[in-house]
């Protein structure tokens, strides 16, 4: 079997928050295809067609209703994962919200709500998983892995994105700090920063502003929207032993947008 075959994540239990969303679900299915046991943590129940798609992996799937803004729910979700599968080896912090506001219209409560999901939610899930990892044994040639979802908005400025961009920039910095602090425990921490990806979030944005996508494509050298599985493949790599010497990094999956960010 080649390095990125069906056994890449064999014997690994990985928690995915925001698992029913576009990137979260693409990551979940890819991890299952590559042998992982996956805990789908989300405050929603998923679509019937999504659950049907996962039926063939029922012995390696656990559904956990979990709101990442609630500490007790996050702790219970990780405890249930360990009880079902015996351990937790990886985490993907995919839960997130993106709400656009003109700066002078942005209220304190809305800013706090976005921070609570995107930043504090990742903090809570990471803390709970790291505590579980500390109760486990790990083979000498293995590492644990945590992958956060950042965004191109951590690097570029986009109007009406004050709260969202602030959280994603903070995620990138938290990734670096945790990579240093958790390295002695052999826990690697990285992030992935998607650009414009074909998700429900993008569909809602385009529906509200149909000409916006054309403007983004002018700033994207590859001139197309990315697919969720293209982000999932980078997440899968970072979770695997193939990335055993990679930590503290943010990988941008953006079609070259950060490299250019200006029309020709």
Which residues are bridge partners to 252 per DSSP? 193
Q: What does DSSP say about strands 144-149 and 37-42: parallel, antiparallel, or unpaired?
A: unpaired
Rounded alpha-carbon distances, angstroms, from residue 124 to 40, 197, 259: 16, 26, 32
CA pseudo-torsion sign 118, 120, 123, 124 = negative
Cα 194 from Cα 251, distance rounded (Å): 8
CB atoms inside a 10 Å sphere around CB 144:
24
Q: For the chain, report the end-to-end CA distance as a whole number of angstroms.
A: 43
Return the CA Rg of the chain: 18
Rounded alpha-carbon distances, angstroms, from residue 84 to 60, 63, 75, 239: 10, 11, 14, 20
Cα 45 from Cα 202, distance rounded (Å): 21
Name the residues annotated as catalytic: 164
């Amino acid at each position: 079997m080649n390095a990125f075959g069906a056994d890449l994540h064999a014997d690994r239990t990985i928690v995915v928050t925001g698992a029913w969303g576009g990137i979260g679900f693409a990551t979940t299915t890819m991890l299952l295809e590559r042998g992982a046991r996956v805990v789908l943590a989300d405050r929603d129940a998923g679509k019937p067609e999504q659950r049907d798609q996962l039926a063939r992996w029922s012995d390696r799937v656990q559904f956990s209703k979990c709101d990442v803004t609630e500490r007790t729910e996050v702790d219970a979700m990780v405890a249930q994962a360990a009880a079902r599968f015996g351990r937790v080896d990886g985490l993907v912090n995919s839960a997130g919200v993106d709400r656009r506001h003109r700066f002078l219209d942005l209220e304190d409560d809305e800013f706090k709500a976005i921070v609570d999901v995107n930043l504090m939610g990742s903090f809570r899930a990471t803390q709970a998983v790291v505590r579980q990892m500390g109760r486990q044994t790990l083979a000498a040639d293995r590492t644990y892995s945590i992958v956060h979802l950042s965004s191109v908005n951590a690097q570029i400025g986009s109007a009406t994105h004050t709260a969202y961009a602030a959280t994603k920039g903070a995620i990138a910095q938290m990734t670096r700090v945790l990579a240093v602090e958790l390295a002695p425990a052999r826990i690697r921490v990285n992030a992935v920063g998607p650009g414009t990806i074909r998700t429900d979030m993008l569909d809602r944005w385009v529906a509200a502003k149909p000409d916006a996508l054309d403007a983004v494509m002018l700033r994207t050298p590859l001139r197309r929207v990315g697919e969720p599985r293209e982000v999932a493949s980078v997440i899968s790599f970072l979770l695997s032993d193939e990335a055993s010497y990679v930590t503290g990094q943010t990988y941008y999956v953006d079609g070259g947008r950060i490299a250019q960010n200006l029309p020709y």
